[in-house]
Amino acid sequence: MRLALFQPDIPGNVGAILRSCACLGVPLDLIEPLGFPWDDKRVRRSAMDYYERVEITRYPGWESFRAARPGRIVLMTAHASVPITAARFEADDIIVMGSESGGAPAHVHDEAALRVRIPIVPGLRSLNVSVAAGIAMHEALRQTGGLP
């Protein structure tokens, strides 16, 4: 199981996701460009001392990410028809989260073997990406027996 962030915009969200990845034992892939300098203090402030406990790999773009990580893509998106409660995760899935400002582009949607949404109250757009990532990782690990 891996988590990939597609061109994240907000350093505090990435830091919070790093902390969740550390606590759940999930490696993190960052697909550039990032919307902030990687050495932004807000990343480390949000991740706290968990930063060093995460396997982080950065990729200059989607193509290099897919060349290195050819596994099954599970895209978390508010536009999916499959709710997370009906999704069936596999132990080697790569859960992809789109950017905060633009989500995931069409080519990422096209490559996803599974597109999943987290049900929320009607009329609201979406959860914060770091909250959604934590929910997705936990459910995927629960289903596949990978919880710490």
Q: Model's pTM, two decimal places?
A: 0.95
- CATH architecture, range 2-144: 3-Layer(aba) Sandwich (3.40)
Model confidence pLDDT, tens digit, residues 113-128: 999 999 999 999 899 9
Percent of the chain topping pLDDT 90? 88
Neighbours of 145 (CB within 10 A): 7
What one-character-per-residue DSSP string does 52-120 give? GGS-EEEESSHHHHHHH--S-EEEE-TT-SEETTT----TT-EEEE-BTTTB--HHHHHH-SEEEE---
Model confidence pLDDT, tens digit, residues 73-114: 999 999 999 999 999 999 999 999 999 999 999 999 999 999
147 pLDDT more than 80: yes
The model's confidence at residue 41, banded by pLDDT at 50, 70 and 90, is confident
pLDDT attached to residue 79: 92
